[in-house]
């Protein structure tokens, strides 16, 4: 099998999972790391068996032609710039979510990849979590009949939803052009779309900043979508001042013949058919593999076999579109039809969220 040379651009928190996958999945090697903070990149390079090169500027990495694939792990507002440059250099691209702050930026990324004939994959990794993959398989097997509704709940804390310092870039709207609805919501809407196999036709939303005292753009939202094929999807993220570890993140999927609960924890899928008692669903053996590794292997294989990426650029754009439509629906107190028209291609969220706080200037 051909060995694909991987380069990671941006060596922050999330990059460690990609670096590990490039080192471990087989048929790949970590060839280069790029980050303006070269000390951070060097610390990752020292742990890799591939002895990757380190660059302060990703453009130099692309110019040196030392990689076949790039993984884009920079802040969201830089995704389009880096992705377009990588495509023009002939590199396949795995870009972290959220795909980009605006639909015009998403479209530019897709166009660049199409023009260059390279693969563009968006890092919507939540859909690869074992409970959600198993839930989709149960639905595809017809065990709950036709999907009628999907109800998703994702609790967290008001200031640091996953233990990240409140001054981290992704909590500052100026670093991404929007807030949680896009940055985190894109994961949940993608997982919902994946599980039930339906896309939204109309979106409504309520968004608030109740507990975080301006530290983050928003700390609560509820998004409701009516899909083309009928299902109603509701997704809520609820951040409270304290976090209780026993809370569950996940979905309840209602069908014409049963109910499926899929929670983000080991063994977290329960099936109820008709009036029967709920019963746990055993996971397929392949789902014991780390979800990031499964995701990266599928992307690797799509390059080697010239097939569609596991999460295409168009998939990533639809997730951003759904989230932006939620902002618009909240602002206008009205349902928004999808797809959004060209007049919204440059829209990147409410002005309040697009400004950098004075303390950061």
Structure tokens at 190: 């993608």
The pLDDT value given to residue 2: 85
Domains of the chain (ranges, CATH numbers): 4-126+291-312 (3.40.50.720), 129-288+319-354 (3.30.360.10)
Buried b (16+ CB within 10 A) or exposed e, 298-333: ebbebbeeeeebbbbbebbbbbbbbbbbbbbbbeee
CA triplet 344, 349, 350: central angle to 5 degrees? 115
Q: Which of 164-178, 245-259, 303-317 has the highest mean pLDDT?
A: 303-317
Structure tokens at 155: 């609790």
Q: Convert the pLDDT of each residue in 188-200 to its tens digit.
A: 999 999 999 999 9
pLDDT band for position 159 (cuts 50, 70, 90): low
The pLDDT value given to residue 214: 59
More confident residue, 248 or 15: 15
pLDDT band for position 182 (cuts 50, 70, 90): confident
Average pLDDT, the chain: 89
- Decide if pLDDT at 215 tops 80: no
In the Cβ-directed half-sphere of 294, how many Cα atoms lie within 13 Å?
15
pLDDT band for position 123 (cuts 50, 70, 90): very high
Mean pLDDT for the stretch of residues 148-173: 65
Q: Which residues contact 236 (CB under 8 A, 6 or more apart)?
A: 152, 153, 154, 220, 221, 222, 223
- Decide if pLDDT at 271 tops 80: yes
pLDDT band for position 243 (cuts 50, 70, 90): low
Q: Convert the pLDDT of each residue in 77-100 to its tens digit.
A: 999 999 999 999 999 999 999 999
The pLDDT value given to residue 356: 34
The pLDDT value given to residue 360: 31
Using the structure block, give the residue that is written with the tokens 């969201």: 76
Entry pTM: 0.91
Q: Which residues pair with 232 in a beta bridge?
A: 149, 226
Q: Convert the pLDDT of each residue in 124-155 to its tens digit.
A: 999 999 999 999 999 999 999 999 999 999 88
Distance CA(58)–CA(135), nearest Å, equals: 39
More confident residue, 237 or 41: 41
More confident residue, 65 or 55: 55
List alpha helices for 202-312, DSSP H: 291-305
């Amino acid at each position: 099998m051909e060995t694909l040379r991987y380069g990671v651009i941006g060596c922050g928190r999330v990059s460690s999972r990609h670096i590990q996958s490039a080192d471990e999945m087989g048929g790949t090697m970590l060839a280069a790391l790029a980050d303006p903070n070269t000390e951070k990149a060097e610390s990752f390079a020292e742990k890799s068996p591939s002895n990757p090169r380190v660059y302060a500027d990703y453009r130099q990495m692309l110019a040196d032609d030392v990689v076949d694939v790039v993984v884009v792990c920079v802040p969201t507002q830089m995704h389009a710039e880096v992705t377009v440059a990588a495509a023009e250099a002939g590199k396949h691209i795995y870009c972290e979510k959220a795909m980009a702050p605006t639909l015009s930026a998403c479209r530019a990324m897709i166009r660049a990849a199409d023009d260059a004939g390279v693969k563009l994959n968006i890092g919507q990794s939540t859909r690869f979590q074992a409970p959600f993959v198993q839930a989709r398989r149960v639905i595809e097997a017809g065990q709950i009949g036709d999907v009628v509704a999907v109800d998703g709940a994702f609790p967290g804390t008001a200031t640091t939803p996953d233990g990240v310092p409140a001054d981290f870039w992704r909590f500052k709207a100026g670093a991404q052009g929007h807030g949680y609805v896009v940055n985190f919501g894109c994961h949940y809407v993608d997982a919902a779309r994946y599980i039930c196999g339906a896309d939204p036709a109309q979106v409504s939303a309520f968004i608030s900043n109740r507990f975080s005292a301006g530290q983050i753009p928003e700390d609560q939202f509820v998004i409701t979508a009516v899909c083309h094929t009928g299902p109603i999807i509701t997704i809520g993220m609820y951040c409270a001042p304290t976090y209780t570890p026993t809370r569950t993140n996940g979905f309840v999927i209602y069908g014409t013949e049963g109910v499926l609960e899929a929670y983000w924890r080991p063994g977290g899928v329960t099936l109820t058919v008709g009036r029967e008692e709920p019963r746990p669903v055993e996971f397929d053996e392949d789902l014991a593999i780390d979800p990031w590794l499964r995701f990266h292997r599928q992307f690797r294989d799509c390059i080697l076999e010239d097939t569609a990426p596991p999460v295409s650029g168009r998939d990533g754009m639809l997730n951003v579109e759904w989230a932006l439509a939620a902002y618009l629906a909240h602002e206008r107190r009205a349902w928004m039809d999808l797809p959004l028209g060209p007049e919204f291609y440059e829209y990147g969220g409410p002005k309040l969220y697009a400004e950098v706080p004075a303390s950061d200037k």
